[in-house]
Amino acid sequence: MDLYRAHVLVCCGTGCTSSKSGKIIENLEKELKAQGLTREVKVVKTGCFGLCAEGPIMVVYPEGVMYYRVSPDDVTEIVSEHFLKGRPVARLMTVQTAVPLDQARNVEESDFFKKQVRVALRNCGIINPESIEEYIAHDGYMALGKILTDKMAPLDVINEVKKSGLRGRGGGGFPTGLKWEFAARQQNDQKYVCCNADEGDPGAFMDRSILEGDPHSVIEAMAIAGYAIEANQGYIYVRAEYPIAVQRLKLAIEQAKAYGLLGEHVFGSAFSFDIEIRLGAGAFVCGEETALMRSIEGKRGNPTPRPPFPAVKGLFDKPTILNNVETYANIPVIFQKGSEWFASLGTDKSKGTKVFALGGKVNNVGLVEIPMGTTVREVVFDIGGGIPNNKAFKAVQTGGPSGGCIPAKLLDTPIDYDNLIAVGSMMGSGGMIVMDEDTCMVDIAKFFLEFTVDESCGKCAPCRIGTRRMLEILEKITGGTGTMEDIEALERLAVGIKEGSLCALGQTAPNPVLSTLKHFREEYIEHVTDKRCRCGVCKGLTQYFILTDLCKMCGLCAKRCPVGCISGVLGKEPFVIDTAKCIKCGACMQACKFKAVVKR
Amino acid sequence: MGSTKTKTHDEQVRLLDQVIEKHRGQGRKALMQVLQEAQAIYGYLPLDVQRTVAGGLGVSVAEVYGVITFYSFFSLNPKGEFEISVCLGTACYVKGSQAILDKIEEELHIKAGECTPDGKFSINACRCIGACGLAPVIMVNEDVYGRLTPDQIPAILAKYKEA
């Protein structure tokens, strides 16, 4: 075996692949060969490091030097300077978002990583996801091997999961061990283990990163679940929009089968377990467990009433358990390090860690994994590096279309399942979108309702018709014709929809409106009574003006105006916008070099 | 030109038959997979393809149509040679993807969900392609463009107009 003096880890997650990390690897290999370094420096394709905004990302070990926004053209310099002469390329070691990351020379010491505890993401960005050997070298399949070779009783496996306190990471936070126990108690000739990888929450991408960066952890966990409930067949329901994840999952399943870690007689035991992949086709409601199972059966993804619960009558009417990707990724670690260790992380009722997809108006956009109980402030300001361009923080949205907004006064809320619900939001799958002073909260509520109106399956009238009505009211308010009665109507409708819908999609659809009404009611009232959108987002309420004293009479704005509503005399008279004709496209504002065009 | 097109059509029919053959006997269980593969062959799912799939799997055309219209991934209409997917996921939206979509619609004179008369471009307003770190993001077929501002759009489109 070759001993390498350095390892170069190049992120090949979706974000970095989009910014050409494939080409970077190609150039690296070419350049290393040209310099005769192929036996000294090893290039490793890895999954996501988390700091997606600064990608493509490259990390060099043993030093732990992290390079940001590497371009394929930088490779020659990196190889000749760093690998040949031992001088890291300082120019690529500072992030461009003005975050003090650059002060830390080592990856683990940077603010972005310091407060994180990586359990579910333990292998992401460290191992090559396309190599089962690398997963095994990181204690992969050890948990499954131990369970099978020690002939641990299925009930003991379930008890271990119960003791860990692990709760579902996909939405509601149901205790995972309990779910397994329900299915294990059922007597049936056929049971199923399903994995929900239909990550539909817009703005959350942790499940995809796990599948892309560490697919074997999910496969191992599903096999453990299969052993625990005595099922021999698993299904992974994954979005067709995630091609890289699908391809790596397929490869991982093949490799596991070739090693006897999946298929007939796993680890030479009497236990057999197989996994098949099913592709989702872009329906948000299929994240709901009964809808997902209908979809695997080849039907429209309409939710069905519970009970019967899937643990009793699920996929093809057989007892079934369904967990999401992140939940599964935690399972092997619980058996490697023990349930006590896992339960020592987090808060009283929420154990372990949670991965959040931090995005929106925040400096360090990416994936972060924090112990439960970390405050929202720590995530946004310490790990996330605060708000760009010196803007003021307004809110953070969690839980996607089912969740709500957390305002500045609640920044010190420790994150766990119960606290987030108490402040009117929810954990959800873990999207965390930061909003600054320029984000209009009424517009955001409207954005999420547009989403639910699109995605409501149409089965229950309160959800199908009610969300449409709520959206129409919000359109009225943002268009400048809303009344105070409309705000009350919103609240009334919200209650009806929550109570009258069958599945979680409808039951939670009004949440974005309710939480913005709770914390930002004054913005709604401003839209209604003052006909004003303080952020200038709602076009129906925005007007553009030219400040006469700043206007240099250059006429550039008039030239750019697509409807010819700006008039003035070049060099002599300041220009004026005819607000009656203006279509509010903002072209004049972009064109003006003197900041004379303002909107209010 | 005409002959190439017929040939392509024959080729498509042959490929679809292969897909159906592979899943024969599985019935409705295989419907989603067959439709996914059929769309990969045809680019969309016209009525004659729906009929073939229905016949091959032994389910009704109504059921096939019902499944197609339920899932946004399936399309009943042909797409442009270059499909522009504009991400309207939360992270992109907060960073101004609506303005990006407006600009593309303005440049191409079509709305989201439509195709230009010459069949060159279609616009698809999609929810999160998962590249939130690069927000706002668009995809032109497989090419991803991130950290966009509306004024970059004309140059990007120009690349494909010439292609």
**Domains of chain B and any CATH numbers:** 2-70 (no CATH), 82-162 (3.40.30.10)
Using alpha carbons, list the distances in angstroms from residue A548 to A532, A569, A572: 22, 13, 12
For chain A, residues classed under CATH 1.20.1440.230 are 441-530
Distance CA B74, CA B66 (A): 11
pLDDT of the residue at A305: 94
pLDDT of the residue at A348: 95
More confident residue, B107 or B2: B107
Closest Cβ opposite residue A203 in set B32, B66, B90 = B90
pLDDT of the residue at A98: 38
pLDDT of the residue at A558: 93
Q: Average per-residue pLDDT in chain A?
A: 93
Mean pLDDT confidence for B14-28: 92
For chain A, residues classed under CATH 3.30.70.20 are 543-599
Fold classification of A132-342 is Rossmann fold (3.40.50)
CA angle A216, A220, A226 (to 5 degrees): 145
Distance CA A171, CA A328 (A): 14
Quick check: B2 pLDDT over 80? no
For chain A, residues classed under CATH 3.10.20.600 are 353-436
Distance CA A69, CA A56 (A): 5
pLDDT of the residue at A17: 87
CB B67 within 8 A of CB B32: yes
Q: Where residue A311 falls among pLDDT bands split at 50, 70, 90?
A: very high
Nearest CA in chain A to B134: A53
| Residues above pLDDT 90, as percent of chain A | 82
For residue B45 the two structure tokens come to 């799912």
Inter-chain residue contact A295 with B32, CB threshold 8 Å: yes
Selected from 3.60.15.10, 3.40.50.620, 1.20.1440.230, 3.40.50.360, the CATH number assigned to the domain covering A441-530 reads 1.20.1440.230
Residue that has been written with the tokens 């990550």 in this structure: A199
Mean pLDDT confidence for A513-520: 96
Q: Where residue B3 falls among pLDDT bands split at 50, 70, 90?
A: very low
Please report, for chain A, how many H helices and E strands are present, in that order: 24, 17
**Nearest-CA distance A300 → chain B (Å):** 5
Quick check: A154 pLDDT over 50? yes
For CA atoms B119, B40, A324, A131, give the dihedral sign: negative
Q: Where residue A221 falls among pLDDT bands split at 50, 70, 90?
A: very high
Least confident of A181-195, A336-350, B23-37: B23-37
For chain A, residues classed under CATH 3.40.30.10 are 6-107
pLDDT of the residue at B128: 81
* pLDDT tens, residue by residue, A535-567: 988 988 988 899 999 999 999 999 989 899 999
Closest Cβ opposite residue A283 in set B70, B94, B135 = B70
pLDDT of the residue at A95: 66
Closest Cβ opposite residue A55 in set B128, B129, B133 = B133
* pLDDT tens, residue by residue, B32-42: 999 999 999 99
Distance CA A268, CA A145 (A): 10
Quick check: A480 pLDDT over 70? yes
Mean pLDDT confidence for B51-69: 96
pLDDT of the residue at B13: 93
Mean pLDDT confidence for B47-65: 96
| Residues above pLDDT 70, as percent of chain B | 96
Strand order in the sheet with B143-145: B121-126, B82-87, B138-140, B143-145
CATH of domain A543-599: 3.30.70.20
Least confident of A7-21, A347-361, B55-69: A7-21
3-state secondary structure of A403: coil
pLDDT of the residue at B134: 86
pLDDT of the residue at B163: 76
Question: Which residue in A506, A340, A422, A416 sits closest to A167, CA to CA?
Answer: A416
pLDDT of the residue at B6: 43
Chain A stretch 428-487, residues whose beta carbon is closer than 8 A to a beta carbon of chain B = 431, 433-435, 439, 444, 447-448, 451, 457
* Arch. (CATH architecture) of A353-436: Roll (3.10)
Is A300 an 8 Å CB contact of chain B? yes
For chain A, residues classed under CATH 3.40.50.11540 are 132-342
Angle in degrees, 0-180, between the axes of helices A511-519 and A484-500, rounded to the nearest 10:
140
CATH of domain A6-107: 3.40.30.10
Mean pLDDT confidence for A245-253: 96
Mean pLDDT confidence for A149-161: 97
pLDDT of the residue at A171: 78
Question: Which residue in A267, A208, A214 sits closest to A243, CA to CA?
Answer: A208
Mean pLDDT confidence for A572-579: 92
Do you find a cis peptide bond into A175, omega within 30 degrees of 0? no
Work out how many CB contacts closer than 8 A connect A with B.
131
* pLDDT tens, residue by residue, A95-106: 644 344 444 455
* pLDDT tens, residue by residue, A374-401: 999 999 999 999 999 999 999 999 999 9
